[in-house]
């Protein structure tokens, strides 16, 4: 499927239903916290332009970003692996993926992302980091190992909306001379990391 009108309309409806759900939750952890539509579109465009073959997403939630990334990666003949600690959310995301015929390019993984990152040996062209921000510093050594040294890129969401919570992580990355970084004012703020 290319980026059809059916896909875009369904994504718009899904986003509205997630926003409504989140508005009813008083507890932050219960909210789905899906990425902004602008960010999802931008990231999907990156995958299309980079022709990414191996994509990793940390934080599936109900799959809003996953579906956008999967739509792009299907066109670039690649695959996406997405990690989520809550099996109910993964199940929900899986249903939408089946409905949109994107399940064939998505590997859903349920568990603590830290365990996946510690054991995975693959190299990724594209990584989206969108989970619990206080874990990012612990993920960082593994992300460096998994990121393709020539053309790999990591995007971290919420670096403007929750700047204080990612401050230390951003400082660690920025102070490492082996990396190029950039903060993009898209959606909640995307931080971009590549090897020099
Ligand atoms: C901000 S939401 C992800 C939103 C999703 N990327 C989207 O745009 O639709 C963060 C998700 O990370 C999950 N999460 C939190 N801690 C995790 C962990 N240690 N391992 C895997 N997933 C985790 C949460 O359950 C939550 O669904």
Tell me the best of 61, 159, 190 to mutate to test the pocket of ligand 1, counting ligand atoms within 8 Å of each CB and taking the most: 61
Phi, psi of 12 (to 5 degrees): -65, -45
CA distance 74 to 104: 9
Question: With 60 as the cut, is the pLDDT of residue 1 above it?
Answer: no
Tell me the best of 84, 118, 142, 187 to mutate to test the pocket of ligand 1, counting ligand atoms within 8 Å of each CB and taking the most: 84
CA distance 50 to 78: 11
CA distance 5 to 158: 28
Confidence at 33, pLDDT banded by 50, 70, 90: very high
CA distance 8 to 16: 12
Q: What's the pLDDT tens digit per position in 134-179?
A: 999 999 999 999 999 999 999 999 999 999 999 999 999 999 999 9
Q: What's the pLDDT tens digit per position in 51-93?
A: 999 999 999 999 999 999 999 999 999 999 999 999 999 999 9
The pLDDT of residue 2 is: 67
CA distance 86 to 194: 29
Domains of the chain with CATH codes: 34-195 (3.40.50.150)
Question: With 80 as the cut, is the pLDDT of residue 132 above it?
Answer: yes
């Amino acid at each position: 499927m290319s980026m059809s009108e059916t896909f875009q309309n369904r994504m718009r409806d899904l986003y509205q239903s997630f926003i409504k759900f989140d508005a009813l939750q008083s507890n932050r952890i219960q909210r789905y916290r899906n990425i902004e539509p602008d960010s999802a579109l931008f990231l999907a465009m990156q995958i299309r332009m980079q022709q990414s073959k191996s994509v990793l997403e940390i934080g599936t939630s109900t799959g809003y970003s996953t579906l956008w990334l999967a739509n792009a990666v299907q066109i670039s003949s690649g695959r996406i692996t997405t990690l989520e600690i809550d099996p109910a959310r993964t199940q929900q995301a899986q249903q939408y993926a089946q409905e949109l015929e994107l399940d064939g390019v998505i590997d859903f993984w349920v568990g603590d992302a830290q365990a996946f990152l510690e054991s995975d040996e693959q190299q990724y062209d594209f990584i989206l980091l969108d989970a619990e921000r206080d874990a990012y510093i612990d993920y960082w050594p593994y992300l460096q190992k998994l990121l393709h040294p020539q053309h790999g890129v990591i995007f971290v969401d919420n670096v403007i909306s929750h700047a204080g919570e990612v401050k230390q992580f951003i400082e660690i990355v920025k102070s490492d001379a082996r990396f190029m970084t950039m903060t993009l004012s898209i959606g909640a703020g995307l931080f971009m990391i590549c090897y020099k």
